[in-house]
Amino acid sequence: MKPAMETTAEENQELNQEKRGCFECCIKCLGGVPYASLVATILCFSGVALFCGCGHVALTGTVTILENHFSTLPSDHALLTHVVQLMQYVIYGIASFFFLYGIILLAEGFYTTSAVKELHSEFKTTICGRCISGMFVFLTYILGVAWLGVFGFSAVPVFVFYNMWSTCATMRSPGANITSIDSICVDVRQYGVISWNATPGKVCGSALGDICNTSEFYLSYHLYIVACAGAGATVIALLIYMMAATYNFAVLKFKSREDCCTKF
């Protein structure tokens, strides 16, 4: 009976060691996960998807509203139509680029985090690797500044649609002291959307109220708000990317100096 009991005790000890080894391996792998880059990637994908998807549909609805109510002649809004089509193609390119760029930044975050924490012996800092990390820091900074401009630009249609919506809400308000509803107008020509020669160019009174009640106006207004929020989320994601990449680059550069000092 004793040899059998000793064998069982040895097997239990080996099993506990294997479990402890698996647990330590899992903890080691989780320690190499770049959580900041992971959160930034999810936020970037969500923001770009909202901006591109909602912006594409909202632009189509905006052209429909202008064609039906503000510019009856095709020649008056021909330039706007071409610009909207160009912007929609640009949206396709933005979505494709940031899908690939987010994956690349996430992969770079995995490698640099493992090198910073020295989790695996095969991950060593090299001059080429530090140059690539520095390049990503610079490129992410440029993209962040560009997306700040996109965020500001996406707020312009929200402002225009909000002015129209508030004007319609004022006309429908029972407490508003309005002598003549026909005197309340919205002229989109003052925003530079269409030329000053466009006819009619402005809509007044009950016709303006009818525009605010259309599904195109309601959908486009809310989609522009979501698209603007998506652009803001993308700016935040790029800021998180930049902070994480800058930290990893600084630590890798510092470790390379330590390695050079220990060699002599």
pLDDT digits (tens, 9 = 90+) for 190-231: 887 887 787 787 888 888 888 888 888 999 999 999 999 999
Q: Which two tokens stand for residue 196?
A: 């000053």
Number of domains in the chain: 1
Residue 210 lies in a domain: yes
Residue 22 lies in a domain: no
Residue 46 lies in a domain: yes
Residue 27 lies in a domain: no
Read off the pLDDT of residues 74-115 as tens digits, 9 standing for 90 and up. Answer: 777 788 888 888 998 999 999 999 999 989 888 887 777 665
Distances (CA, A) of 258 to 113, 120, 121, 122, 239: 18, 18, 17, 18, 29
Q: Which two tokens stand for residue 5?
A: 């009991």
Q: Which helix (H) or strand (E) holds 242?
A: helix 215-263
Looking at the chain, the whole-number percentage of residues with pLDDT higher than 70 is 75
- What domain range is 131 assigned to? 37-109+127-254
Residue 55 lies in a domain: yes
Residue 60 lies in a domain: yes
Is 84 within 8 Å of 62 (Cβ atoms)?
Answer: yes
pTM recorded for the entire structure: 0.79
At residue 202, what are phi and psi to the nearest 5 degrees? -140, 155
Distances (CA, A) of 152 to 44, 52, 230: 17, 15, 12
Residue 100 lies in a domain: yes
d(CA 249, CA 123): 14
Residue 234 lies in a domain: yes
Higher pLDDT: 114 or 34? It is: 34
